[in-house]
């Protein structure tokens, strides 16, 4: 039976690879809060806390989250890795670091393989990520669709099986 959730259960999660990303990612948090939607923000690193990234991704849907915004800089694997572990929509925010000015992060996030989409916004444009997350909530009628989620989960499993069947 579906768990009863309060209207104050966060529907959008903002995750980022480091606390140093927060200066950019807070723009997403602010616009979501301005629209009166509850959001939760936390640091989850694909490289430094991979176990926690797995745990977060695997329980996000069950906990009532409907959209994930993930920001990362440099070898920005967080949005793509999270997208590979959940049936929730993931919006990626490329964060600019001083060396390559965010082009590295942008390409890391946007160049996802077929079958594992990440909606990528412009470099440092966490504001747009927040707005897009709100639009996804609004158009989805702010409800989950268990049948569609099941089909998406089966699709994700089919990608895995296809790779495991390959022989060189």
The answer to whether residue 104 forms part of the interface with ligand RP5 (CB under 6 A) is no
73 lines the binding site for ligand RP5 (CB under 6 A): yes
Q: What is the C-alpha to C-alpha distance for residues 28 and 22, in angstroms, rounded to an integer? A: 10
- Part of the chain binding ligand RP5 (CB under 6 A), chosen from 11-19, 54-62, 81-89, 156-164: 11-19
72 binds ligand RP5 (CB under 6 A): yes
Does residue 153 belong to the site contacting ligand RP5 (CB under 6 A)? no
Q: In what order do the strands lie in the sheet with 12-16?
A: 39-43, 12-16, 67-73, 90-95, 119-120
Q: Contact with ligand RP5 (CB under 6 A): which of 69, 70, 74, 108?
A: 74
Identify the CA nearest to 44 among candidates 59, 30, 66, 33: 59
| Least separation in angstroms between CB 13 and ligand RP5 | 16
Tell me if 18 contacts ligand RP5 by CB under 6 A: yes
Query: Please, which residue, 15 or 32, has the CB nearer to ligand RP5?
Result: 15
Q: Which two tokens stand for residue 23?
A: 């200066």
**Which of 78, 122, 75 is CA-nearest to residue 99?**
75
């Amino acid at each position: 039976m579906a768990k009863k959730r309060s209207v104050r259960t966060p529907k959008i999660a903002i995750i980022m690879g480091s606390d140093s990303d927060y200066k950019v990612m807070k723009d997403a948090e602010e616009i979501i809060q301005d629209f009166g939607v509850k959001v939760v923000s936390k640091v989850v690193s694909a490289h430094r806390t991979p176990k926690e990234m797995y745990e977060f991704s695997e329980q996000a849907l069950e906990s009532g989250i409907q959209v994930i915004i993930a920001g990362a800089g440099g070898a920005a694997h967080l949005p793509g890795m999270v997208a590979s572990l959940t049936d929730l929509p993931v919006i990626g925010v490329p964060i600019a670091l001083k060396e390559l000015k965010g082009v590295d992060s942008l390409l890391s996030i946007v160049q996802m393989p077929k079958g594992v989409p990440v909606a990528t916004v412009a470099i440092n444009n966490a504001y747009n990520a927040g707005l897009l997350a709100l639009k996804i909530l609004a158009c989805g009628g702010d409800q989950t669709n268990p049948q569609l989620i099941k089909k998406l989960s089966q699709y994700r499993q089919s990608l895995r099986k296809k790779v495991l069947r390959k022989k060189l």
